[in-house]
Structure 1
Amino acid sequence: MSPKVSEAYKAEKKAAILEAALHCFTEKGFQATTVDDIVRHLGMSKGVIYSYFSSKEEMYIQMADDRMNAMVSSLSEQFKSIPNASDQIHHMFERFRRQSLKDLRKWLAFHLEFMLYAARQPELIERWKQYADKALVFIQEIIEAGIRSGEFRSDLDKETVACLFWSVRDGLALQYMLTGEETDYERTIQDMEQMVFRFIKA
């Protein structure tokens, strides 16, 4: 009879596999990476990896979801001391400014390659939508609170504003994907922040 494996042990193994997968994805690219690459990097048998994840696609989805959940959890905790919706949106823009272009480019390349790959596979599109919806809902809740408090226009559509918010973020990231300087990037974020607030403020 094999020994019982604790939940903590399983969580540790999964985290180790995802860390190895992330390393390979960012080094070689999502499509070029194979499960064998992850096996070699981790020094773990392929059978063990498949006992936790059925494919590299599942690894990516889990990784992206964990990152999104961590962001939402961290911001929700910080927002306990930032009660105003306007200040919460300002805080989000400040987070964008603090992220270096080097880090932004690494993560954007990682996500973009998967999105192009997933675009031809309906089952992955649905999984991606579940992940992306969390980001939209998070901003929608801030906008809704700002409308209730009178900080934001009463006629705003929260879904539209959430899409606008992330489109500004993602669009800027694409604009600076290959070239551009940190100072220009930070100044453009600041200008975009002012534009967004001119649209949403009561």
Structure 2
Amino acid sequence: MSPKVSQAYKEERKAIILEGALHCFIEKGFQATTIDDIVRHLGISKGAIYSYFASKEEMYIQMADDKMNAMLENSTELFKTMPSAADQVRYMYGRFRNQSLNELRRWMAFHLEFMLYAARQPHLTERWNEYADKALVFIQDIMDGGKQTGEFRSDLDSAAAARLFWSIRDGLALQYMLSGEEADYRRTIDDMESMVFRYMLS
């Protein structure tokens, strides 16, 4: 009889595998990376990986979901001491400013590659939308809160505002993905923040 494995051990092993997959995705790109690449990098058997993840696609989705959940959990906890919706939005822009261009570029390169890959596969598109919807609902809730407190205009379409928020953010990331200086990037985030507030308050 094989020994019983604790949940903590399983989570630790999954985290190690995801870290290895992340390294390979950054080095080679999502599509070029194979399970064999991850096996070689980690020095473990293919069976050990498949006991936790059925595919590299599942690894990516888990990785992205973990990153999103951590952001939502940390932000939601902080927002308990930050009742102003406007301050919550400013906090999010602060997070963007604090992310270096190097970090942004590392993530965005294979993040975009996965999006294009998933767009051609309905089962991945569905999983991706579950992930993306969390981000939209998170910002929409902030917008709804700002409308209730009178901070944002009463006719604000919270759902549209949430899409606008992330669309501007993603567009900025694309503009700076291949070139651009850190100082210019931060100034552009400042301009983006001012523009979004004008939209919410006008």
| TM bracket (short chain) | over 0.9
Q: Secondary structure at the match of 2:2?
A: coil
Letter in 2 for 1:98: N
Counterpart for residue 14 of structure 2? 14
Shift of 1:48: 1.1
C-alpha distance in structure 2 between counterparts of 1:178 and 1:8, whole Å: 39
CA displacement 1:156-193 (0-9 Å, x = unmatched): 11110000000110010001111111111111111111
Shift of 1:93: 0.6
CA displacement 1:104-151 (0-9 Å, x = unmatched): 111110200101111111110000000000000000000000000000
Q: Secondary structure at the match of 1:154?
A: coil
2:114 pairs with 1:140 = no
Shift of 1:3: 0.9
CA displacement 1:57-92 (0-9 Å, x = unmatched): 000000000000000001111111111000000111
C-alpha distance in structure 2 between counterparts of 1:110 and 1:31, whole Å: 9
Counterpart for residue 36 of structure 2? 36
What does residue range 1-202 of structure 1 map to in structure 2 within 5 Å?
Answer: 1-201=1-201
Q: Secondary structure at the match of 1:3?
A: coil
How high is the sequence identity, in percent, across the aligned residues? 72
C-alpha distance in structure 1 between counterparts of 2:7 and 2:172, whole Å: 41
Q: Secondary structure at the match of 2:80?
A: helix
C-alpha distance in structure 1 between counterparts of 2:100 and 2:117, whole Å: 26
Letter in 2 for 1:114: F
C-alpha distance in structure 2 between counterparts of 1:158 and 1:4, whole Å: 48
Task: Give the alignment's Cα RMSD to 1 decimal.
Answer: 0.8
CA displacement 1:33-67 (0-9 Å, x = unmatched): 00001111111111111011000000000000000
Give 5+ residue unaligned stretches, structure 1.
Answer: none
| Structure 1 stretches of 4+ moved >2 Å | none
TM-score of the pair, normalised by structure 2: 0.98
Count residues with an aligned counterpart: 202
